[in-house]
Amino acid sequence: MTTDTSRCLVCDTPRPDASIRLVCFPHAAGSAAFYRTWGQSLTEVEVHAVQYPGRADRFDEEPPHDLVGLATEIADALEPLADLPLAFFGHSLGAPVALETARALQRRGIYIDHLFASGSRDAPLPKLSGPEEDPDQLLKDLVRMGGTDAEMAADPIFQEVVMPYLIADGRMFHSYDMAPEPVLRCPVTTIVGDQDDDTDLRPWSALTTMPVQQVGVPGNHFYLIADPPYALLRETLSGSRPGSR
């Protein structure tokens, strides 16, 4: 992928005095707008949201097809921001994208402070079947998981805009062959809704040399729409700042 890396990141609430940056990775068919209000609520950190190609202000670009290549592009954009500690929050598809971005940075000698894998469980990798590409079923699944409401999903304009990159993201995820290395050197926190039957399964305990904490919260796969895990993020990241480590 070749693009202006400045388009990869959106920071709606700059905080020049922040001592740590939280980088948020969207789910499949998600965009940076999913995290638009997080910077207003997390006043202790500077929040940057990743904008994947093919949506929002990157609508003129082709959707990504190679997850590791996408992560390399994001790492290029993040490297200048590594003058402060970085923490990653990835939801669903965003969890493996965050993993590979952290690996790409680590290869350059940049180590993130923490990785939050939301909608992802510490478990052996499953055997993946081919991606679901039936538009009607994809929309039904999105509504069932809480990613959008039924009325919006039935809107033809919504379908015309979102469906191409929803399908593309599914193809990218299902073609992703996760390597066992390099192993991260940061703690990992997994966050899973107690009604979530659609979690990403990933052997996080084997993917880092540091502890893995598993946190259960009320809700389904999109628990964070109604109740973002701000308190957990504040508590965890308060121990990641210079002088407290």
What tokens does 176 get? Answer: 């992703």
What tokens does 101 get? Answer: 């971005």
Largest CA distance in the chain: 53
Angle at 77 between CA 76 and CA 83, to 5 degrees: 95
HEC-encoded secondary structure of 148-192: CCHHHHCCHHHHHHHHHHHHHHHHHHHHCCCCCCCCECCCEEEEE
Residues 46 and 80: their CA atoms lie apart, in Å, by 14
Out of 92, 118, 120, 240, the active site residue is 92
* Contact residues for 83 (Cβ-Cβ < 8 A; gap 6+): none
Q: Please indicate whether residue 114 is annotated as part of the active site.
A: no
Residues involved in catalysis:
92, 221
